[in-house]
Amino acid sequence: MSELVAEQVIEEPIELEFTEYHGISLDDIEIDTSAIDAEVTAKYNYREDGSLADIDQFIVVNGCPKAPESKLAALSKVINKVFSSVGEIENMEIPIENGFTRGFAFIQYASPEGAKKALKLLNDLEDYGSPEFSAEFKEPELNEPKGSDSLNNWLLDGRDQFFMAKDMDSQLVWNRGAEVPELICESNKWVEQAPPRFTVDGRFLITLHEQGAASWGTDSMEELNKFAHTNAKRFDISKTGKFLVTFSPEPISEPYGSFTEENIGHNIAIWDIQTGTLLKTFPLPPITNKRQQPPSWPFIKWTSDDLYCGRLGPDAIATYNADKGFKLHEIIKVENIQTFQFSPAKCKVGRTEDNKSDILTFWTPELENQNCKATVMEFPRKRVLRSINIIQAVSVDFFWQNKGHYVAVKIDRWANKAKTKVCSNIEIINFQENNFPVSKLELNERVLTLSWEPSNDRFAAISIDENVASLEDTLPSKNVQFFNTALTPAGSKSWILAYQSGRCHANRLSWSPLGRVLCVGTAMENRVKNAELKFFDLDYTGVHNIITKLVSAEEAEKLQPKAKPKANTGFNSNNRFGDKAEEEESLTGTQLDRSGKIFNKGNGLRLRELAGYSSLSYTDFCWDST
């Protein structure tokens, strides 16, 4: 086979001489630039006159603050908020020199229309609407909180101060006896999301609105602070009146007001009432098992001095120290814990009155290997003082006396094998005696709620006999029961049922802050005019002039004090009023009919029904605690 070999051809480089082009002018050369122009115009958005086609989308903002570079994010947020109000901003640049902004900014809008609106509406916007605005950054000055003197001036007036509301209209007035009340101020914004409440010392009125809560005070009831919490539905005041808790069912989704990125996903906020400062936020606790009950309001519970607060979590109570910025103090692990409460006052835990401590009560349900148990624990030492083993309990509730002398443990049990009816037992722990003895009351009825008389050992309860009525009825028939103390043969204190009222539809128990007088109410939803109020005097002495009817029942009713006022009481919602009563003066007024009955059973109980008012329209009521 013959091989074909390609012959390699090597070309010599050609030398070109350019001397022959020296006489050619470049102006005589025609070059087609249309393709180049189209490419450059498309890339850089030029106009035919050589300017940028999107130049109308740019504006230059002069007069911006010369702020430190560390404040650039905050400054950008403010400028963006102002100038985005007229159109969508595509880009913004704030030049920086030597660690400070230079006092101007470049803003590019998404369309020329946005820039035109900015020039028309925002040009010459002097100092962003604030005459005190300075181009130089200065540390903000905090306003001094209101002094306690101006907040307490209402105590210097001997007249009663009333807060009344009907529908959305509210009035704060001075009572002048039989004369027309003297108006202090009025508002149609105080009753929006929830009934207003005074703090325990009467200095602040807290109201709840769509955008959050607000505090009011001073002589003219001016607005003192706002607590921005969108769609807040409930609020609570701590025991000393220092802190406010707001709750919204909708978690915080973005920073606003006092909330930052750290607060996103949280539903509960704690505020300082005096200054309006946000102190802490929490999410709702997760439900991890079927035995765990949803947390009950209030979600944040306080010790008697507001030094600690606690919230319920899965199998634990998380406690926080208020004096240390609400840092986590301790997690108390209790398997399957259902609910807990702190005592309203420090209780005697030793043999002397000086040895007092806060008390924590909680309960756990019956499981396969353990009984239902109610536990009484000293806090923060976590020393168990008393535990009550309970058999076949459906639910357990704790009701404290305001001084912390007694706690009533209400135990609901099934009353029949079919588990369709419930009856209640009440076990009362006495902290006034050594070893904390327990007194037991076995009842045939189901106790729905009970309330201790302030600073006393008597209490009242609302109960229902499920053999006669059911809670599923539209207006179930109930009883009001009065319990008093009696001495056992051994000389110890026990409790007995002293009196039971006839059938009624009551669902509220509200004691006067001074004790003795109890208001039993039937509050109806949706302003149904079937509500009812009844007043009972537990220390009737035979004097006829006990209660005064000042105006018609459709407007308001009140107890008339004889001497100068000392404390506030009030009703909430459609018929709300405030009343101050001197502790040592008897209640006097015009004569009441003698149809009330007197009962005397137990340790000196003298009960008389003072008056009853029906066909009212209200949804809630209370006595102010001051």
pLDDT in tens, 496-544: 888 888 788 888 888 877 788 888 877 766 555 566 778 787 877 654 4
The percentage of the chain sitting over the pLDDT mark of 70, rounded to a whole number, equals 72
Instruction: For residues 175 and 232, state if they share a domain.
Output: yes
Q: Burial of 485 by CB count in 10 Å (0-12 exposed, 13-18 middle, 19+ buried)?
A: buried
Q: Which of 227, 257, 223, 265 is nearest to 244 (CA)?
A: 227
Q: Are strands 268-272 and 308-313 parallel, antiparallel or unpaired?
A: unpaired
Tell me what the mean pLDDT of segment 152-177 comes to: 73
Q: Assess whether pLDDT exceeds 60 at residue 258.
A: yes
The pLDDT assigned to 613 comes to: 45
Are residues 113 and 163 both part of a single domain? no
pLDDT confidence band for 201 (50 / 70 / 90) = confident
Q: Name the average pLDDT for the chain.
A: 77
* Residue 271 or residue 16, greater confidence: 271
Residue 240's contacts (CB-CB under 8 Å, 6 or more residues apart) are: 200, 305, 306
Mean pLDDT score, 42-63? 70
Per-residue model confidence (pLDDT) at position 300: 96
Q: Does 409 reside within a domain?
A: no
Q: Per the domain annotation, does 326 fall within a domain?
A: no
Tokens of 290: 């079927």
DSSP string, 173-236: EE--TTSPPEEEEEESSSSSSEEEEE-TTSS-EEEEETTEEEEEETTTTEEEEEEE-TT--EEE
- Widest Cα–Cα separation across the chain: 147
pLDDT band at 567 (very low <50, low <70, confident <90, very high): very low
Detail the DSSP E strand segments found in 87-168: 89-93, 96-97, 100-101, 104-109, 161-166
CB atoms within 10 A of CB 601: 15
Residue 194 shares a structural domain with residue 116: no
Judgement on whether residues 510 and 611 belong to the same structural domain of the protein: yes
Asked whether residue 116 falls in the same domain as residue 76, the answer is yes
Under the banding of pLDDT at 50, 70 and 90, the label for residue 558 is very low
Note the helical H segments in 429-570. none
Is 215 a residue whose pLDDT tops 80? yes
pLDDT at residue 421 is higher than 70: yes
**At which of 247, 278, 309 does a domain end?**
278
What residue has token string 């005019």? 529
Query: Would residue 362 count as lying in a domain?
Result: no
* Of 256, 278, 300, the domain-final residue: 278
- Backbone dihedral region for residue 457 (phi beyond 0: left; psi -120 to 50: alpha; all else: beta): alpha
Could you tell me if residue 457 is inside a domain? yes
DSSP 3-state assignment of 167?
coil
Tens of pLDDT, residue by residue over 450-459, are 999 999 999 9
- Residue predicted with more confidence, 2 or 323: 323
One domain, residues 124 and 228: no
In a domain, 563, yes or no: yes
Residues 118 and 151 both lie in one domain: no
CB 409 within 8 A of CB 393: no
Is 429 in contact with 386 (CB distance < 8 Å)?
A: yes
What pLDDT is stored for residue 526 in this prediction? Answer: 54
Coil, strand, or helix at residue 336?
A: coil
Residue 426 included in any domain:
no
Q: The tokens of 32 are what?
A: 């087609």
Instruction: Give the whole-angstrom CA distance, residue 241 versus residue 305.
Output: 10
Q: Does the bond joining 344 to the residue before it have cis omega, within 30 degrees of 0?
A: no
Last residue of a domain, one of 278, 296, 321: 278
pLDDT by residue (tens digit) across 325-370?
999 999 999 988 999 999 999 998 877 777 889 999 999 998 877 7
Q: Would you state the pLDDT for residue 429?
A: 94
Residue 189 pLDDT greater than 60, yes or no: yes
**Strand, helix or coil for residue 113:** helix
Q: Are residues 493 and 600 both part of a single domain?
A: yes
Cα–Cα distance measured from residue 356 to residue 336, given in angstroms and rounded to the nearest whole number: 29
Q: What is the pLDDT of residues 375-407, one digit of tens each?
A: 999 999 999 999 999 888 889 999 999 999 999
- The residue with greater pLDDT, 286 or 167, is 286
Whether 578 and 478 map to the same domain: the answer is yes
Residue 300 lies in a domain: no
Tell me which residue has tokens 């327990």.
438
Query: Which residues on adjacent β-strands are paired with residue 272?
Result: 243
Residue 196 is part of which domain span?
Answer: 147-278
Select the highest-mean-pLDDT range: 149-153, 199-203, 222-226, 546-550.
Answer: 222-226
- pLDDT at residue 52 above 70? no
The predicted pLDDT at position 615 comes to: 45
Structure-token pair, residue 88: 């969508």
Q: Quick one: pLDDT at residue 246? A: 97
111 and 209 belong to one structural domain = no
Query: Quick check: is 341 in a domain?
Result: no
Same domain? For 485 and 531 the reply is yes
Q: Which among 464, 453, 459, 340 is positioned nearest to 397, based on CA atoms? A: 340
Counting every residue written for the chain, the total comes to 626
Say how far apart CA 514 and CA 456 lie, in whole Å: 10
- Domain count within the chain: 3
CA dist 433 and 382 (Å) reads 21
Assess whether 48 and 112 both reside in one domain.
Answer: yes
User: CA separation (Å) from 73 to 60, 92, 223, 440, 470?
Assistant: 19, 12, 32, 65, 62
| CATH, residue 227 | 2.130.10.10
Q: What was the pLDDT predicted at 340? A: 94
Percent of the residues in the chain that have a pLDDT greater than 90, as a whole number: 33
Select the highest-mean-pLDDT range: 298-312, 543-557, 589-603. 298-312
Range among 176-190, 290-304, 420-434, 574-588 rated most confident? 420-434
- Domain of 28: which CATH number? 3.30.70.330
| pLDDT of residue 273 exceeding 90 | yes
Counting Cα atoms < 13 Å in the Cβ hemisphere of 363 gives: 21
pLDDT band at 23 (very low <50, low <70, confident <90, very high): low
Nearest in space to 521 (alpha carbons), one of 408, 402, 617, 423: 617
